[in-house]
Structure 1
Amino acid sequence: MTMHSTQAVESRDFDRPDDVREFEHGRAEVLDMAGGTIGRFVLHPGWRWSQDVKPMAGTEWCEAPHFQYHLSGTLHVQMADGQEFDVEAGSVSSLPRGHDAWVVGDEDVVIVDWCGASDYARTG
């Protein structure tokens, strides 16, 4: 039995993203492909969502849900309900709406996000 795919094959890399959104202490590189959006977030030491992205978002907490793989660094997450935890390189995290986060230590946090990149740090 032969199976035929109806979707075109796509292969992309973040060296040529469709969009780059710069913010204090970091950037989001965004690819639109296969009917979806994927983002690579590069967050430098000193980055904190509530200081560096909140002014663009205009919300009290980050309202973008995230499903992400952590390539490097340590990210501390604080949920609106008070729960706090660290996410380290090699981990996969799923964060619902209503959180703050910040880089811990002196290493860049690099994350690939399959869920929350479409409107993250978008202006205008």
Structure 2
Amino acid sequence: MPETLTQRTEHQSFGAPVEVREFPHGRAEIVKLGDVEIGRLILEPGWRWSNDVKPIAGTDLCQAPHMQYHVSGTVHIVMADGTEFDAGPGDVTSLPEGHDAWVVGDEPAVVVDWYGASNYARK
């Protein structure tokens, strides 16, 4: 039976991630609690999924679904169906597969992704 968060107490820190995946204009810092991977995405001004992560993923749009909390900065998100919006500090987003996104403005965007980080920016 796989471990779950309820089976034992754990403490991890993004100050010492178990994995860091770097890509142009950003990185994904990964921590693990049991069998759950949580990512902190640090996206610098100029980051755009279709430019910086698409070559790693090899898909036209991001195919990783996400559940995210937006800590700082602003990310503009465009879904395959044409829906688009900005997500900023304090926002929580649920993104199904099939989207592009980019940083808006001059402030880095920091996003905590508790669903979808496992395969983000991984070949």
Pick the TM interval, shorter chain: over 0.9
Give the match for residue 33 of structure 2.
33
Q: Which runs of 4+ in 1 moved over 4 A?
A: none
* TM-score (ref. length: structure 1): 0.92
**Where does the alignment leave 5 or more consecutive residues of structure 2 unmatched?**
1-5
Higher-Rg structure is 1
* TM-score (ref. length: structure 2): 0.93
Give the match for residue 120 of structure 1.
120
Cα displacement (A) at 1:21: 0.2
Cα displacement (A) at 1:44: 0.2
Query: How many Å separate the matches in 2 of 1:61 and 1:93?
Result: 17
User: Which stretch shows the higher mean deviation, 95-104 or 81-90?
Assistant: 81-90
Percentage identity across paired residues of the two chains: 63
Give the match for residue 100 of structure 2.
100
Cα displacement (A) at 1:35: 2.0
Q: How many residues align?
A: 118
Cα displacement (A) at 1:32: 1.5
Cα displacement (A) at 1:34: 2.5
Query: How many Å separate the matches in 1 of 2:117 and 2:83?
Result: 23
